[in-house]
Structure 1
Amino acid sequence: MRKHSLSVENPLEHGKHLFRFCLVHVKVFQNVFIYAINISDFGRGSRNWLLHVRYVRGEHALCQDLADELQRQNNNKHRYAHFIKGSVLADAGRYQEALERFHSCLRLLPQDPEPLKQVAMCLFRQGRFQLSQEAYLEADKLTKYPDAEIYCALAECAWNLGDLQRGVEWARSAVQAGGAERAGALLARQLVASGDIHAALCAYDHALTSHACGADTLAAAGALRLRTGDPRRAFQLLGAALAQQPTQHPAALALAAMMLQHKDLDAALARLKAALSAHPTCVAAHSNLGLALMGKKKYIAALTCLQRAVWSAPLSARAAHNLGLALIICRRPASAFCRLATSAALQPTQPHTVLLIAITLERLGDSRSDAAYARAAALAPNDPLIMLNLAGRHARAGRLGDALQHAVKVADLHKMAEKPDAQLASSLANLVALLRDSGVELSQLPMSLPELDSPSPRPVGKEDQNSPDEELAPDEV
């Protein structure tokens, strides 16, 4: 056994070490003495602490046995035993039996708000939101001080009942009562649902600066920043969410969407694969992965991913739309029409889906394509992409006057845009060049269009995405 030696060169230091040694041993003996007293009084003292310890440790069987024993000793009037048995039953999903136990607590002491809160929670988990809200309101009357947990629960009840205004009020009360991250995130979510995006951003900022928030809150705040056009702040928040929880798939999906917008396909693929490893049935991840593979010309793998997204969510209009777009690029217009018709049936007012249907019908040689083009233009009369495709349709059909009229409108919309699309301007320049070669007078155009040094990508519907002599790249398995 190793012996510890103390230096005697400095008597003061020797005294300090000796004092610490004695103090530690006194504390050890004191704890042993207190434990011995507790053991001696175990038979006649309260054993609520033991119930609590066993419940917290998850020893539910031992907890139930001890609760039954305490009930027999106290003629079935032991309140805490009823409470713990109700909590165990609620954790097991037996909410109706748990309600009976909590009601027994309330009969023994009606002024205690804790059993009433548990009753409200069981009702909420059963989907009985109106009764849960009433129980939480009664519990709020019994509490002496503002309870942030009750206010958060009331906000969630109002959310499920569709009363967003009351939900926002309760969430604000929860934030003022010190509800921390849960209250701030709940308030922001309610504000987003009610359409007040600026207030939701302020709520997220307050929660992030006041509390150490988790990955879910960081991801939600980052996604909202991305929606409002603040990619730099969104990138910071989403990166923080992934650093805290690498398997947080909403953050990975949002980052992948940002990377797809910036044409960084390899980084987007890595994020999407990470998201799928955490959530293999995520429809958005499969759909975005298919679009990313389509950008890398991995056509078979892209169609496989998009088809898997459609199988996972047969009622998703967006998944059907993306698969239809991929099938158009792969020159399979009949299959594309079936998928796009499904998407249009699920979401009839989506103009770009109707535009793709028009393109598909034109490639199939169906005369109904003109009606589809007109329908897309009626749904979005100020969309330059739709107007450009409509002008191209008129030009291919020989209606050069109508083509020029719509080209003028596209030029006006392009001029008024805050961020002009270079690809759209290039495609418009191609159309104008074709009209000029056909002998059309172009003096009506209000803007000078860029001259192209080399052929640029045309929008979907002008011509095939791939040239006839282009070979498809090898696909991934």
Structure 2
Amino acid sequence: MLFVTAPESPLLESRNWLIHIHYSRREFDVCRMYIQEELERSSRMAEYPNYIMGITGQAHGSVVSAPGYELTGLGFDSRAVSRVLFLKGELSQKGIILRHEGKIQESLEYFQICHVLNPRSVNNIKQVARSLYLLGRHRLAVEAYLEAEAVATKPDWAIYHNLGLCLVHVGEQAKAKENFLRALQCSRQEETYMALAKIHLLEEDIEGAIWIYKTALQCYRDSSELSTALGLLYMKTGQFQSAFEQLGSALAHDNNCPRALLAAATMMQAHKDIDVALSKYKIVAQCLPESSALWNNMGMCFFNKKKYVAAISCLKRANYLSPFDYNTLFNLGVVHLHTQQHASAFHFLSAAINFRPNSAAAFHMLALCLKNMEDPENAIQAFDQAGQLDPSEPTVALNYAVFLNSKGDKDKAIEQLRKFQKLAEGNTALDSQLLEMASELCVKLSLSDITNINDAHNAEQLDENPGDLEQDLV
């Protein structure tokens, strides 16, 4: 009689713990090697990686969305799917590894196949959704999130939160707000509060955003990000004391918080504490060397200290980092105008006007530049445009009057000087130098003196008064 002994079969999935350890250590090459060995040893029937997919997504803090979508919609071949059915143990684990390596499209294909193998798995749909979101295919991601919501047996914070993010990208802010509120009902997460506040800001509802941040701070009192964001909103609304308190709170919890330091330095700069502001900016530069707002504000600090070469260097770096930023272009125009580099000033001021054609200050500076370049016709047009855009600005009228008088047009110069006198009455923010200029012009035009206008206080002007310089908050 012939006896046949059964061959020894290795215990399937006996090395799953080793695969998981290497994945947790982000040793993806070693992890992939063990996965391949296990698949060959088990005739590609190992299923553990398929189950571990959802666990690793949560254990490592992935922001998991819920995309479900049809494979045929992306041109998948059903025969290709059938050929990889036996790979289900490897697919999810490999998809996660590929995503960590930045191969989003390849990871999406693996997660799609996992979704075919187990269409009722919420984790599989979430992983597909996350890949779609990272690829910028937000409309497909929305459909997938909705599918995940339908499959889920209980409310899921990640589904609602990420669905809201995708809806923001497709422009459906009302639905996004609704989903963020549903996410907060599931779990009061800091990032959901931040996203909800941003929607209020998109709707220009600053008070609503402030209320959201204040509510979030009741749950996350130690959050420097929330305190900084709230402080910046207070600065925009002119509540500087509240802004200072929030920024101080942010720095108390994280004394190297770059956004809080930048905002605090901006406040100091606005109050003419230039040296302290510069010291803060130098600290921020170590953390945010590519912040255009940082270099813009540093440039204006050097300008106030009359270090023009350093000012232009900082402003040009800001312009390099953000070439379409109006504030930087305007400031470059003003500094070049002050250093009598009129052609360069014209270049930057023209660019600033292209980005903000309703800026009276930019047209005012451009008019002064054209005047110095001896282009009176265009200078007159620029002065007229500045006066139309901001008829309440007295410095435009005064500079226009000086220019017209220099060209011999005394009637129009008198008209503009009268306009300045009317606008200057009761205006305590005017610089005394402006009043002296107006008085001298009155004497030249044989008008009654206007030195009885209220004296002005604390406004540093150029000889031709270029106006307020622009600053960025963040």
TM class by shorter-chain length? 0.7 to 0.9
Amino acid in the other structure paired with 1:426: S
Q: Which residue of 2 aligns with 1:268?
A: 277
- Deviation (angstroms), 1:450: 2.4
TM-score by length of 2: 0.78
**Cα distance change, pair 178–392 in 1 and its aligned pair in 2 (3 A):** farther
Q: Which residue of 1 aligns with 2:24?
A: 56
Counterpart contact for 2:395–2:420, Cα < 8 Å: no
**Cα distance change, pair 334–464 in 1 and its aligned pair in 2 (3 A):** same
Structure 2 counterparts to residues 44-193 of structure 1, below 5 A? 50-72=18-40, 73=42, 75-76=44-45, 78=47, 79-80=50-51, 81=89, 82-193=91-202
Tell me the alpha carbon deviations over residues 164-195 of structure 1, each in whole angstroms, 9 at most, x when there is no partner.
22222222222222141010011001110111
Structure 2 counterparts to residues 58-457 of structure 1, below 5 A? 58-72=26-40, 73=42, 75-76=44-45, 78=47, 79-80=50-51, 81=89, 82-212=91-221, 214-367=223-376, 368-394=378-404, 398=410, 399-411=412-424, 415=426, 422=429, 424=430, 426-427=432-433, 429-434=435-440, 437=443, 438-441=445-448, 449-451=453-455
Amino acid in the other structure paired with 2:36: D
- Deviation (angstroms), 1:223: 1.4
Counterpart contact for 1:389–1:459, Cα < 8 Å: no
- Deviation (angstroms), 1:408: 4.0
- Deviation (angstroms), 1:461: 5.8
Unaligned runs of at least 5 residues, structure 1? 1-41, 466-477
TM-score by length of 1: 0.77
- Deviation (angstroms), 1:406: 1.3
Amino acid in the other structure paired with 1:276: A
Identity of aligned residues (%): 30
Mean Cα deviation higher: 341-350 or 242-251:
242-251
Q: Secondary structure at the match of 1:381?
A: coil
Q: Secondary structure at the match of 2:415?
A: helix
Counterpart contact for 2:155–2:186, Cα < 8 Å: yes
- Deviation (angstroms), 1:124: 0.8
**Cα distance change, pair 243–83 in 1 and its aligned pair in 2 (3 A):** farther
Report 1 or 2 for greater relative contact order, CA contacts < 8 Å, sequence distance ≥ 6: 2
Unaligned runs of at least 5 residues, structure 2? 1-9, 52-88, 468-474
Q: Secondary structure at the match of 1:342?
A: helix
State the 4+ residue runs in structure 1 displaced beyond 6 angstroms. Answer: 455-458
- Deviation (angstroms), 1:329: 1.7
CA RMSD of aligned residues (A): 3.0
Tell me the alpha carbon deviations over residues 248-290 of structure 1, each in whole angstroms, 9 at most, x when there is no partner.
4332322221111100001111121122222223222112111
Counterpart contact for 2:428–2:455, Cα < 8 Å: no
- Deviation (angstroms), 1:373: 0.6
Which whole-Å CA distance do the structure 2 matches of 1:85 and 1:464 have between them?
Answer: 61
- Deviation (angstroms), 1:317: 3.0
Counterpart contact for 1:219–1:238, Cα < 8 Å: yes
Figure out how many residues of one structure are paired with residues of the other and give that number.
Answer: 412
- Deviation (angstroms), 1:464: 9.3
- Deviation (angstroms), 1:205: 0.7
Which whole-Å CA distance do the structure 1 matches of 2:12 and 2:413 have between them?
Answer: 100
Amino acid in the other structure paired with 2:167: A
Mean Cα deviation higher: 140-149 or 367-376:
140-149
Counterpart contact for 1:223–1:254, Cα < 8 Å: yes
Which whole-Å CA distance do the structure 1 matches of 2:216 and 2:17 have between them?
Answer: 35
Please say which structure displays the higher CA radius of gyration. 1
Q: Which residue of 2 aligns with 1:22?
A: none
Which whole-Å CA distance do the structure 1 matches of 2:103 and 2:466 have between them?
Answer: 60
Which whole-Å CA distance do the structure 1 matches of 2:395 and 2:174 have between them?
Answer: 38
Counterpart contact for 1:215–1:240, Cα < 8 Å: yes
Counterpart contact for 1:400–1:440, Cα < 8 Å: no
Counterpart contact for 2:300–2:311, Cα < 8 Å: yes
Q: Secondary structure at the match of 1:85?
A: helix
Which whole-Å CA distance do the structure 1 matches of 2:111 and 2:267 have between them?
Answer: 50
- Deviation (angstroms), 1:50: 4.8
Counterpart contact for 2:224–2:253, Cα < 8 Å: yes
Counterpart contact for 1:392–1:462, Cα < 8 Å: no
**Cα distance change, pair 343–400 in 1 and its aligned pair in 2 (3 A):** closer
- Deviation (angstroms), 1:348: 2.4
